[in-house]
Structure 1
Amino acid sequence: MPLPFLTADRAFDDAAHDAALPFDDRDHWRRPYRPGPWRVGAGAVLLLLASFVLFAAVIIAFADSLAGAAICAGLAALIIVSALRLLRMGTWVSAHGLRRVGFLTTQTLAWGQISAVRTAQQPVRWLGLPRTVQGQALVLVRRDQQPAGPQQLLLTDRNADFLARHEAFNRAADSIEVWADEYRPTA
């Protein structure tokens, strides 16, 4: 069963592609990079945990405790939804705009609302934990935002998708910057 949210477009694998935006359907929301091994590993561990909880629900159901089995099945469903949401997290682009998918929230901005998308060297959070380290970040600056105001981080080279994958981070950041340059109105 193909899982389209797990696989990014394979356009970057083909060295013969010269186009910056090698996609036929640009209205389709896509993540221009693959999820990293940390994110995929965490999703796999959660799905493994869900399988054990479902197995426990079956055992509890055979022991004639349907209420306990229902609670276990509900917990397993919650774990599965969490794993799928974790795998879907990231920055998505289309001709309509840019979408930042978090674990609990999703924020979509039209290209007209975006002033700049650029790479910056700054302290970033390591794997989303409170500890910060020096790294690179893809920064979004909104048009309605003050120049010295806080900037929204789209990607960092220390998050679960790009930890120890600097070339992949540079490719993803360049791709998102090209999408922004292509569709952001100039004025």
Structure 2
Amino acid sequence: MPLPFLTADRAFDTQADDVALPFDNRDQWRRPYRPGPWRVGAAALLLLLASFVLIAAVITAFAGALSGAGVCFLLGGVVIAAALRLLRMGVWVSGNGLRRVAFFSTSTIPWRRTAQLRTVQQPVRWLGMPRTVQGQALVVARQGEPLTLLTDHNADFLSRPEAFDRAADTVEAWGAEYRTG
């Protein structure tokens, strides 16, 4: 079963330098990078935990405690949903705008409301934890306060600076194309 939210489109990795936006259907939401090893590893551990919980639910159901089995099945479903949401987190682009998918929320910013996309040096959160380190961040200047889209120390780009640079350049290219057009 293909999982389109798990992998970025291969054209982002194999595109020529002179073609920043290689797609004909630009209204489809796309993630301009692949999920990083930290994000995929955490989701894999959650799915492993979910498999144990579901096995426990089956054993509990065969033992005759149907209410306990129901709770285990529900817990397993919640853990699977959390793993899938974790894999879906990140920045998505389309001809309509930017979409920042967080664990509990999703915000969409139309291109016309973005003033500037730029990469800046600033303190960034390490793997989303409260600890901050000096790093790079892709920031969108919009009406109101600036919004940090990507950092080089999040779960997708930790220890992968070239992947961060490629993703930031791609998002900036989409912004340059649609803010002026």
Tell whether the structures are fold-level matches, with TM greater than 0.5: yes
Give the letter for the 2:178 counterpart.
Y
1:57 aligned onto 2:52: no
Residue 129 of structure 1 aligns to a residue whose secondary structure is coil
Give the letter for the 1:86 counterpart.
L
Residue 99 of structure 1 aligns to a residue whose secondary structure is strand
CA distance in 1, matches of 2:16, 2:86: 32
Give the letter for the 1:103 counterpart.
F
Q: CA deviation at 1:25?
A: 1.0
Identify unmatched segments of 5+ residues in structure 2.
Answer: none
2:168 match: 173
Alpha-carbon displacement from aligned partner over 1:53-88 (angstroms, at most 9, x marks no partner): 000000000000000000000000000000000000
Q: CA deviation at 1:15?
A: 5.6
Q: What is the alpha-carbon root mean square deviation over aligned residues?
A: 1.2
1:158 aligned onto 2:153: yes
2:133 match: 133
TM-score by length of 2: 0.97
Alignment of 1:3-14 (within 5 A): 3-14=3-14
CA distance in 1, matches of 2:17, 2:141: 29
Contact map agreement 2:15 2:22 (CA 8 A) in 1: no
Residues 1:121 and 1:17: Cα distance change in structure 2 (over 3 Å): closer
Q: Which moved more, 1:15-24 or 1:56-65?
A: 15-24
- The list of structure 1 runs, each at least 4 consecutive aligned residues, that deviate by more than 4 angstroms after superposition, is none
Residues 1:100 and 1:16: Cα distance change in structure 2 (over 3 Å): closer
CA distance in 2, matches of 1:45, 1:60: 23
Alpha-carbon displacement from aligned partner over 1:157-181 (angstroms, at most 9, x marks no partner): 0000000000000000000000000
1:78 match: 78
Residue 136 of structure 1 aligns to a residue whose secondary structure is strand
Residues 1:112 and 1:15: Cα distance change in structure 2 (over 3 Å): closer
Give percent identity, aligned residues only.
Answer: 67
2:90 match: 90
Give the letter for the 1:125 counterpart.
R
TM-score by length of 1: 0.94
CA distance in 1, matches of 2:65, 2:154: 42
Q: Which moved more, 1:127-136 or 1:10-19?
A: 10-19
Identify unmatched segments of 5+ residues in structure 1.
Answer: none
Alpha-carbon displacement from aligned partner over 1:87-126 (angstroms, at most 9, x marks no partner): 0000000000000000000000110111111000000000
Residues 1:177 and 1:17: Cα distance change in structure 2 (over 3 Å): closer
